[in-house]
Amino acid sequence: MTTTTQIEAVERAARVRRAARQLGTASTDLKDAALLRIADAIEAETNALLAVNGPELE
């Protein structure tokens, strides 16, 4: 029996593969811009990320 979690994991993996292929053909400028946006998002959500993952980091 396939669980919802397994289905979500398979779907997420497929999205990651598609994104990886797209990033592989993207320009350096586009990749740099994407990384900066990711870094900004992580910084903006630092408190929430630590609240959820903090116990695992200790």
Query: pLDDT tens, 1-47?
Result: 679 899 999 999 999 999 999 989 999 999 999 999 999 999 999 99
Tell me the residue range of the domain where 35 lies.
Answer: 4-57
Q: What is the pLDDT of residue 10?
A: 95
User: pTM for the full model?
Assistant: 0.57
Contact by Cβ (8 Å): 42, 49: yes
Contact by Cβ (8 Å): 42, 53: no
What's the sign of the alpha-carbon dihedral 14, 10, 13, 8? positive
**C-alpha to C-alpha distance for 21 and 45, rounded to whole angstroms:** 27
**C-alpha to C-alpha distance for 55 and 45, rounded to whole angstroms:** 17
Count: domains in the chain: 1
Q: What is the pLDDT of residue 48?
A: 92
Q: What is the pLDDT of residue 1?
A: 66
Q: How many residues does the chain have?
A: 58
